[in-house]
Structure 1
């Protein structure tokens, strides 16, 4: 029995998770990696964020919140 999937066959989900595979150009891959590293996101989270930006959709948390300054002026 072969473990390879036939074209169009859906991969089996593990514990309710689904897998999507795609090929992208190098420039797209590098942009996704940049967002992943900058915001500590998964690949799917980075792609989701970039798609929302591209279509001028409002960002989802935590990107919809103003950054909190790290330097304190009191104390």
Structure 2
């Protein structure tokens, strides 16, 4: 049985985004969610990225923890 590591780097790969630490840090610095804004309604996602995020949450997939982490990181202080 293959065990897949569901971490933030792999989530970025699933989203088709650069996944090294510097690229993730840059993405988080350049993109923000406003208070009350839903992660999947953010304008910076492509249609396929939105679909992946929505389906993962609806299915309570293994990615949910990392999606929630990303959501938190994208919130302005």
Higher-helix-fraction structure? 2
Q: Which has the higher contact order (CA 8 A, sep 6+)?
A: 2
- Same fold (TM > 0.5): no
